[in-house]
Amino acid sequence: MENWTRSAKVTYKRWRNPEPGDEGDFVGHTDEDQATDNEICTIASAKVDSGSRESANSSGNNKTAGTFTVDDALEVIGFGVFQWKISFVTGLAWVGDSMEMMILSILGPELHCDWSLPSYQVALITSVVFIGMGFSSLIWGNVADKYGRKVGLVMSMCWALYYGLLSAFSPVYGWLLALRGFVGFGIGGTPQSVTLYSEFLPVRARGMSIMLMAVFWVLGTVSEVLLALWVMPTLGWRWLLGLSAIPVGIFVSFCFWLPESPRFDVLSGRREKAIATLTRIARENGKELPQGTLIEYKQNERGQYKDLFSQQYWKITLLLWFIWFSFAFSYFGIVLLTTELFQTESCRMAQGSSIEPRCSLECKYLTSADYKDLLWTTLAEFPGLLIILFAVDYLGRKKSMAICFFMFSLCILPLYACIGRIGQTIFIFIARAFISGGYQVVFVYTPEVFPTEIRALGMGTCSAFARVGALITPFVAQVLLRTSMYLTLSVYCGCSLLAALASIFLPIETLGRSLQESSLDSDR
């Protein structure tokens, strides 16, 4: 009920020349509210007859009788059949995203041998994907805030599907580089699925539900390794690229079912459409909407970059940008390091010798044993997810992120020594469990901390910084590693420890906090 009361708070537009006696009809909750000349929110369809004093007075202390917010409606409707359906549909986007990301660690060694590519060109194949994602994350976030969450998500997935299939037919290195960059441009819109999904969830179920979305990411990474184990020895990397686009294709075929976010519709002034969506959700869940009128939040402009640096959000924005950068840098770093370490002799690396092949044409394909070890380290994301699934609602979002960063750094330390293949696999397994679990926590925290008016833009800019981290990490995990393993591991440890501190210094803990509709709600 605490969240209901907060989200149902009435604000008003104070008229400068009221009719005599009318100034007492609407009052704010505090003196500060009453001193404000113009608030951005009004109650939609609320009509007051200045001659009907008895009606106004009969409401007593309940000034908000007969009205409800989107939060109120979702709390009454609860988590049900509709949320399970939208979990599956938006989850398909995550399966497609994770498969396109996981393929990068498999594609590199294969192309190094097939096309006799030097290490920097192999790293560039990975980096160009993240360059595309970095640029498009800002664009898709802006599209989602201005034209709708569904519009931005569906457009980005259609783009990724088209170029993902096309890249399988790349004749030469240059074509592959360009087409994979376009795939990255489309995949950059995937985080908007979290924005859309989070806006259909009640407060109590939000943290757990968004974390469960991470199951789809893990399913995608595991599926990609299994697909590679089956396809690569016989059919080759072109078939792997084509088959990896299937989940995105399934999502596109189901996207007609997706509704637009009712929060976005309310903020855009489309109250009737929001009510229709809420009615549909209630019907599928076997519930009824609250009685009364839906509160409408009116806003002239949405998705303004300057709002990210307002007094309430500038510190959050900067800290989250670094945290997202560090998670992507560390997560994709350990993914790429896994195949690189499995291809080399760890003891020779630990002794500081160069691991660049003696002949530029010398190469080593990934073997079945390599794929199986890669599968084991990928499966680490399941226990990591289970641990964080409970920690995120007990320890809170900030502490969970900090612990994950710290444990990742701790598990990297043994890799400095000559610990053999089994020891390597175990510590990479644990490190990946924590960094993948923590990566999902930031996906919970970010849409919770930003208000609806800049939520998609906040997710988009954070995702862009994550892509910058992912863009840089191939040159550390695949290029710098060939010069010094000590320096490579030190970079990952140092970055993770700094990110742990950044997580602690975040000014807001969002555990149990309702989603804010506008920046003014942050003080409520």
First to last CA, the chain: 15
Residue 205: what pLDDT? 81
Q: Please state, in angstroms and rounded to a whole number, the distance separating the CA atoms of residues 436 and 327.
A: 8
pLDDT the model gives residue 185:
93
Strand partners of residue 294: 68
- Mean pLDDT, residues 5-19: 39
Strand partners, 13: 38
What pLDDT is recorded for position 315?
Answer: 93
H helix count then E strand count, the chain = 22, 4
- The single-letter code of the amino acid at 74 is L
Distance CA 472, CA 333 (A): 9
Distance from C-alpha of 97 to C-alpha of 190, rounded to nearest angstrom: 7
Residue 512 contacts residue 164 (beta carbons within 8 Å): no
Over pLDDT 70: what percentage of the chain?
79
Q: Quickly state the pLDDT bin for 346 (edges 50, 70, 90).
A: low
Q: Residue 275 carries which side chain, given as an amino acid letter?
A: I
pLDDT 10s digits, 429-482: 899 889 988 888 998 899 889 887 888 788 888 988 988 898 888 888 878 887
Beta-strand relationship, 296-297 and 293-294:
unpaired
pTM (2 d.p.): 0.68
Phi, psi of 22 (to 5 degrees): -85, -15
pLDDT tens profile 88-108? 999 999 999 889 888 888 887
The pLDDT assigned to 298 comes to: 57
- Considering only residues 386 and 357, tell me which one the structure prediction assigns the higher pLDDT: 386
Residue 517 pLDDT exceeds 80: no
User: What residue type is assigned to position 410 of the chain?
Assistant: L
The token duo for 311 is: 């007094």
pLDDT in tens, 32-87: 443 333 333 333 333 333 333 333 333 333 334 578 888 888 888 889 999 999 99
Average pLDDT rounded to a whole number, residues 142-163: 90
- pLDDT value for 349: 52
Residue 299 three-state SS: coil
Structure tokens, 335: 């993914």
- Output DSSP code: residue 22: G
CA 219 to each of CA 127, 226, 227, 466: distance values in angstroms, whole numbers, following the listed order: 24, 10, 12, 21
Structural domains in the chain, CATH included, are 2-65 (no CATH), 73-261+302-523 (1.20.1250.20)
43 three-class SS = coil
Residue 38 pairs in a beta bridge with 13
Read off the pLDDT band of 361 (50, 70, 90): very low
Q: Which two tokens stand for residue 451?
A: 């208000």
Residue 297 pLDDT > 80, yes or no?
A: no
pLDDT in tens, 229-274: 888 888 889 999 999 999 999 999 988 889 998 888 888 888 888 8
Residue 145: predicted pLDDT: 81
Residue 320 has pLDDT above 90, yes or no: yes
Among 196-200, 505-509, 515-519, where is mean pLDDT lowest? 515-519
Answer whether 184's CB lies under 8 Å from 129's CB: yes
Q: Which of 24-28, 86-90, 159-163 has the lowest mean pLDDT?
A: 24-28
Q: Above 60 in pLDDT, residue 22?
A: no
What mean pLDDT is reported for the chain? 78
